[in-house]
Amino acid sequence: MRKGSIKSDRINREVERTLSEVIRSELKDPRIHPLTSVTGAEVTTDLKYCKVFVSVLSNDEDKASTMEGLKQARAFLRKRLAETVNLRNTPELRFVLDEGIEYGMHLSKLIEDVSAADRKTISEREKNEEPSESPAENGGDK
- Strand ranges across the sheet with 49-56: 36-43, 49-56, 92-97
- Tens digit of each residue's pLDDT (9 = 90 or more) over 53-79: 999 988 899 999 999 999 999 999 999
For the chain, the average pLDDT equals 88
Domain ranges of the chain: 6-99
Superfamily of domain 6-99: K homology (KH) domain (3.30.300.20)
pTM: 0.73
Q: Write the burial class of residue 128 (CB in 10 Å: 0-12 exposed, 13-18 middle, 19+ buried).
A: exposed
